[in-house]
Amino acid sequence: MNQKLEDILNLALETPQEIREQTETLNVGFDGESRTWELIVKYHGSLERLAGLGVKVEYLIAGYAILTVPEGLVDMVADVEEIEYVEKPKRYFYAVSAPADGSCLPRATLQEPFLTGRGVLIAVLDSGIAYERKDFRKENGDTRIRFLWDQTLMPGEAGAPPEGFSMGVEFDQERINRALRETGEGERYALVPSRDVNGHGTAVAGIAAGSAILEQAYKGVSPEAELLVVKLGAPNELGFPRTTEIMRGVTYALRKAILLGMPLVINLSFGNSYGAHDGSSLMERFLDNAAEIGRTVICVGSGNEGSSRGHVSGNVEQETAVELAVGAYETALNIQLWKHYSDRYRIRLRSPGGREQELPEVVEAGKYTLQMEQTRILVYMGEPTPYAVAQEIYLDMIPLAGPYINSGIWTILIEPVKVVTGQYYLYLPSSAIRNESTGFYRAAPQVTLTIPSTAAKVITVGAYDSTYDTYADFSGRGYVDRRRTIGVVTAGLTKPDLAAPGVGILAPDIYGGYTPFTGTSFAAPIVSGSAALLMEWGIVRGNDAFLYGEKVKAYLRSGARPVRGEAEYPNDRVGFGALCLADSLPV
């Protein structure tokens, strides 16, 4: 194994392509046509010499880059002195399951100080935007979108990518306005051929910054903020965005905000369950660095895994049996077990038919393969890395014969050998790609927030039901002011930071109407829009030139109000409470 590579990348490189393609995660980042890997690296110095190896380098921010590497050269590239650590991309999933007066917005927007978000840039990195809607236009009909980067379009006749990038097509405000002046849909989309076929991004943008349209009695939180939109994805690829595309989008937004001289709010309404959930991945560290560049705030939804049965944790004092129900027609399933490196366990796996196999000693790092009934199990025993103290045991279950793995009750037996803490954490993939009946028995709702909402410097947003003023049980839960049981020390860190309405949120759809949406995806833009209002009051109006970053988080926490049924604050469900913008203003 190469210790500069993360565990899942080591496993992917040691697994033949035809087997990787059967899994949900191992082949993400590999291009079978060009036989290249897209990789995320942390580096120092210069990477210019990689060009001589046929490696394409895209520089991001703060010592991060994306490399496109011929498959046979990954280990050689990792051995380059300037490369510190390497990860493969992961897929992120939208957190889908009208901003309410409960968020105290009218007291700050319909009376003094009459905040609208003017002068602030809100970046929506998502599935795109229905740019033709009135919700994203000024009173004169011009667009409020400063730039639209569609990563899924091929450069060429449609246009060129942004400076510093090689994928997608960038459309500026002038070109979007030209398109809006066209009366025919065909002519409009000939000029700006970007569509939101999903509708998620349009809804998110509308909640954060929809224009005040009197005839429809709808407006977003910051109706006069300007928008920067990134449609995430890659040409010729369907499905969910990858970490590399998100990191490109964040870098792009930061560069544009600095160029325009505007304070910036970045909204991220998606996440992934892969990782130690402790801030140690390159994506989490990247966002922490990004949040410290310029006058920036990053808001991330906590995800919808709170009640999805995708997580279980506990302490091993004697042999512990963790039962996992695998539903019918599951084509693949991976399981992560995270533990302290100082603990040693004997781990056995029992199939639905009662067959048992013991995993290799945890101290022996590397890849192993098991076969149980009609299921092949790829096992990777990880080690601590220069960026993380936690140890991962990764299992990927794929069909041995036929299209599905064995359904029924799988049991993971954990027996203590040497116990220092005795703690373990198990995670399944996001519920968005799992069979609904697949999940742990006796699942734990704690620490179910998705990555990257686990990054320390972002504002992590949970969801509550504003109709009943109660916590929404799907909302990913975090931790409060303590040392995390695995991974980095997070004493004093609370996640989520606060909650916003996330059930039945009215928002623009891609069909010309307004539809209620549910999920932390739609709670996050309420906070993003509110952050923009605070930054307008502070930076744009000259009341506080330093109202950005952690200071915005502190003000939003301070103004948060209680939620029914929550006795202590902060807590792992709603953090410091429910968003109350008016009480967050320091006036």
Distances (CA, A) of 449 to 73, 88, 489, 563, 581: 35, 21, 17, 19, 24
Are the beta carbons of 472 and 465 closer than 8 angstroms?
yes
What is the enclosing helix (H) or strand (E) of 541?
none
Tokens 């030139």 label which residue? 545
| 544 vs 315: CA distance, rounded Å | 48
Instruction: Look up residue 178 and give its two tokens.
Output: 């030209």
| 220 vs 573: CA distance, rounded Å | 25
| 487 vs 493: CA distance, rounded Å | 13
| 394 vs 416: CA distance, rounded Å | 18
Which residues lie across from 85 on neighbouring strands?
42
Instruction: Look up residue 372 and give its two tokens.
Output: 């149980």
| 216 vs 526: CA distance, rounded Å | 19
At residue 488, the pLDDT reads: 43
- Residue 410's φ and ψ, nearest 5 degrees, are -95, 140
Beta strand pairing call for 390-399 and 333-340: antiparallel
| 32 vs 11: CA distance, rounded Å | 17
At residue 102, the pLDDT reads: 58
Are the beta carbons of 241 and 270 closer than 8 angstroms?
yes
Of 391, 365, 361, the closest CA to residue 485 belongs to 391
CATH number of 7-88: 3.30.70.2980
For residue 454, what is the DSSP state? T
Q: What angle do CA 158, 161, 164 make, to 5 degrees?
A: 165
- Burial tier of 264 (Cβ tally within 10 Å: 0-12, 13-18, 19+): buried
Fold of 311-440: Jelly Rolls (2.60.120)
At residue 489, the pLDDT reads: 40
Which amino acid is present at 251?
T
At residue 215, the pLDDT reads: 59
At residue 99, the pLDDT reads: 47
Are the beta carbons of 197 and 239 closer than 8 angstroms?
no
Catalytic residue among 7, 97, 126, 343: 126
Of 153, 351, 107, 149, the closest CA to residue 251 belongs to 149
pLDDT tens per residue across all 587 residues of the chain: 788 999 999 999 999 999 999 998 999 999 999 999 999 999 999 999 998 889 999 999 999 999 999 999 999 999 999 999 999 999 887 665 544 455 767 777 777 788 999 999 999 999 999 999 999 999 999 999 999 999 999 999 899 999 999 999 999 999 999 999 998 999 999 999 999 998 999 999 999 999 987 656 688 999 999 999 999 986 555 567 899 999 999 999 999 999 999 999 999 999 999 998 888 899 999 999 999 999 999 999 999 999 999 999 999 989 999 999 999 999 999 999 999 989 999 999 999 999 999 988 755 678 899 999 999 999 999 888 887 888 999 999 999 988 999 999 999 999 999 999 999 999 999 998 899 999 999 999 999 999 999 999 999 999 999 999 999 999 999 988 654 445 544 556 899 999 999 999 999 999 999 999 999 999 999 999 999 999 999 999 999 999 999 999 999 999 999 999 999 999 999 999 999 999 999 87
Of 405, 347, 407, the closest CA to residue 376 belongs to 405
Catalytic residue among 127, 150, 194, 200: 200
For residue 496, say if its preceding peptide bond is cis, omega within 30 degrees of 0. Answer: yes
The CATH architecture of the domain made up of 96-130+200-306+450-584 is 3-Layer(aba) Sandwich (3.40)
- H, E, C per residue of 335-385: EEEEEECCCEEEEEEECCCCCEEECCCCCCCEEEEEEECCEEEEEEECCCE
| 449 vs 520: CA distance, rounded Å | 10
| 414 vs 396: CA distance, rounded Å | 18
At residue 100, the pLDDT reads: 43
| 188 vs 193: CA distance, rounded Å | 8
211 is catalytic: no
At residue 346, the pLDDT reads: 94
Which amino acid is present at 477?
R
126 is catalytic: yes
Domain ranges of the chain: 7-88, 96-130+200-306+450-584, 311-440
pTM of the entire structure?
A: 0.93
Dihedral angle sign, alpha carbons of residues 191, 195, 201, 205: positive
Are the beta carbons of 125 and 162 closer than 8 angstroms?
no
Are the beta carbons of 133 and 202 closer than 8 angstroms?
yes
CB atoms within 10 A of CB 397: 26
- Strand residues in 222-282 grouped as ranges (E): 226-231, 264-268, 270-271
For residue 276, what is the DSSP state? -
Instruction: Look up residue 234 and give its two tokens.
Output: 């890659």
Which amino acid is present at 39?
L
Beta strand pairing call for 333-340 and 423-427: antiparallel
75 is catalytic: no
Are the beta carbons of 148 and 132 closer than 8 angstroms?
no
